[in-house]
Chains A and B, each alone.
Chain A
């Protein structure tokens, strides 16, 4: 298939997945912030969320107080924030538009309708229908496009690049969501085991739709270690890191191609590491450090996808001539 088509499909899926996960992350932070006594503590949580998304500088340049109203606006609706839900949905729709010939019309219509509705919501503000309802809406639209892909698309490489985008993004986001809790919780060790702690970990579980799964798997009280194990190492958990990497690994083998050797190798390394890791070792090593390293590797893997399938170095060079001309003409 055309490199550019693959690239658009991949980013279409990644952006929609990102919109969903941003909604999940905002949801968990919002729930946790409701528990806080003072506004200062609440600010701490919102700030933590921003820094985990790597967007705190951008935020601070344009907003003063990291309170829930500002951060929610910044992360949900701000068109100047490339990581906002608004922009993620826009990007998903623009990428779909560029390849509407390669997706089913149901797929395109769903993404287009999502975008049209997003524009309406932006005009009215997310408080109009209730904040949680907005998060639910974003998740539903993401479920819908994933479901349509599953229910209508030919099982060819178009489908696989869509899935590849989804799972790489999801791996990145699950890791970040785990890190949110870690950042927030660490300073308040006194809370461990308390009611607030329980509430926070269960909020986190709910934010990745894992609360019921946790109950089923562990049939026991909620502990940080088990939650972490569930979200990193359990291969039967839909959003865990190991599940994401299993999928990415399988998809890359199916896509394959003459240039894919290094990419497949790198992916296999990361996957087998996850398979061999034990939760106790991860905690000994430091959860935050572990997650940071994972995020770096996922980032590298994304770059490798780019240079393997979309822009191999020699073809990029040819295009650079064009883009340098582009600069000249302005």
Chain B
């Protein structure tokens, strides 16, 4: 594979403008001080219990997500463009969701085949005709961006996926910043770095703005599957930062289509639920009857308009990988604008020509399950063994519509501390877009880094780490 775009160094080895100040600082920093600071960060994360659980690993059920002290630095002008592209994209996705659960204009116009939407298991027929406040479905979106050279376009940003169900990771964005400021306060006096600390306030405002009609002082809660969920730390963290209650299914009950929480002084009405439980488990009466995590009767209260769920039920259709290819067209259709951010070129294996090409070139491509997430169920051709490739070939042939394929992008790299010193490692970026009465965001997002040499998989469940993400303010 060709050499990837590096965030810090230009191909001639010189330091890029946005990293010059940091690079000077890093070079002046004695190695033993850096080593001590890295240890201090580990201890602090451990003590604070900022951990996540890994599915399928019996041993060490709680793991730290490795934190790297070299920040990912993005110049202001790049961020300005990214931000408008993200706002545009999320607006279009929300318009799409409202449309397909109401008039389905985009199907009527012939821009997306009806089968791909109505026949998709992520389409929730129960949501057809249900009105939600402000017509917002994806209140919290985590859009994964990657950066790669593409022809003459050096370091071009691409949208890899839109996470519109229950995107996680924002707590790491906040904790990473806190950690950097604690370890290296002087770095923040050397240049102006856009703050991110107000995210919880923004989130709370956004959630309050979509309360059911007529509710003036909404009671907002965070609904978690429970403390053994991999992202429990984040659920608790966000509830605490917003100053709202963290609840699980047993804390809530529904009476006459009103949701209440159980308190020591008796039942208290709930208006907005930031839920971190998947659709399927929300309500045993409406969805999976074996769900122990949800609240019986919640969906009927929701349909009656007595409670707001964020994100809405049925957003999974819009971040499905089969629908992903249509997002640029959605932007043209709903916003009447050209997309600011590009998709990664994608082959749809439901199309015969695409399928033929992909099967002939599996060793060079990345193949993903349409409904998969979290880095599970995908094939990275260049690093896969022959056996893995032939196994995947069979899976594809038996169900071509279940897969898409993309070129193996040489994701950009960023210098990262590893056992042997500092070395380039591949990264991505997940900014968070909040939609309520208005669309708001904090500058930056969560940078994830694949710590294994050559690896392109940044998911924390697959050995990824994280970095602080800096948007430089001012003329850089």
Contacts and interface: CB of A to CB of B under 8 A. Distances in A.
A97 B232 CA distance: 9
B48 A322 contact: no
Given A2-B251, A100-B240, A105-B48, A329 B262 contact: no
Q: Which of B236, B237, B248, B261 has the most CB of A within 10 A?
A: B236
A11 to B, nearest CB: 13
A319 interface: yes
Interface in B236-284: 236-237, 239-240, 245-251, 253, 261-266, 284
A325 B265 CA distance: 28
B251 A101 contact: no
B259 to A, nearest CB: 13
A98 interface: yes
Contacts of B248: 4
Given A101-B240, A255-B264, A258-B265, A329 B290 contact: yes
B236 A100 contact: yes
Given A100-B49, A109-B47, A325 B290 contact: yes
Interface in A282-330: 309-310, 315, 318-319, 321-323, 325-326, 328-329
B118 interface: no
B145 interface: no
A69 interface: no
Given A2-B247, A4-B251, A6-B264, A112 B284 contact: no
Interface residues of B, number: 28
A78 interface: no
Given A109-B48, A329-B290, A322 B264 contact: no
Interface string A8-24: 00000000000000000
Contacts of A101: 236-237, 239-240, 246
Contact of A318 (B49, B247, B253, B264): B253
Interface in A125-162: 157
Nearest to B243: A101
A319 B249 CA distance: 9
A157 B290 contact: no
Q: Chain A interface residue count: which class?
A: 35 or more
A5 B292 CA distance: 19
B289 interface: yes
A258 B296 contact: no
Contact of B227 (A98, A112, A157, A329): A98
| Residue of B246, B253, B261, B290 ringed by the most chain A CB atoms within 10 A | B246
Interface string B179-203: 0000000000000000000000000
Binding site of A, secondary structure by majority: helix, strand, loop or mixed? helix
Contacts of A310: 264
A315 B253 contact: yes
B264 A94 contact: no
B250 A4 contact: yes
A293 B50 CA distance: 45
B243 to A, nearest CB: 9
B262 A315 contact: yes
A196 interface: no
Contacts of A2: 245, 247, 251, 261-264
A154 B263 CA distance: 19
Contacts of B262: 2-4, 315
A36 interface: no
Contacts of A122: none
A318 B247 CA distance: 16
Contacts of A4: 247-248, 250-251, 262
A90 interface: no
A328 B290 contact: yes
A3 B264 contact: yes
Nearest to A3: B262
Contacts of A323: 292
Contacts of B253: 315, 318
Interface string B24-49: 00000000000000000000001111
Nearest to B239: A101
A325 B227 contact: no
Contacts of A99: 246
A61 interface: no
A112 B233 CA distance: 13
A1 interface: yes
Interface in B331-372: none
Interface in B26-85: 46-49
A187 interface: no
Nearest to B295: A322
A3 B245 CA distance: 11
27 contacts: A2-B245, A2-B264, A4-B250, A5-B245, A94-B227, A100-B240, A101-B236, A101-B240, A105-B48, A108-B48, A109-B47, A112-B47, A112-B48, A112-B49, A257-B264, A257-B265, A258-B265, A259-B265, A259-B266, A309-B264, A310-B264, A315-B253, A318-B253, A321-B296, A322-B250, A325-B292, A326-B292
Interface of A: 1-6, 94, 97-101, 105, 108-109, 112-113, 116, 157, 255, 257-259, 309-310, 315, 318-319, 321-323, 325-326, 328-329
Interface of B: 46-49, 227, 236-237, 239-240, 245-251, 253, 261-266, 284, 289-290, 292, 296
Q: Which 8 A-B pairs have the closest CB atoms?
A: A101-B240, A329-B290, A3-B262, A309-B264, A257-B265, A326-B292, A6-B264, A112-B49
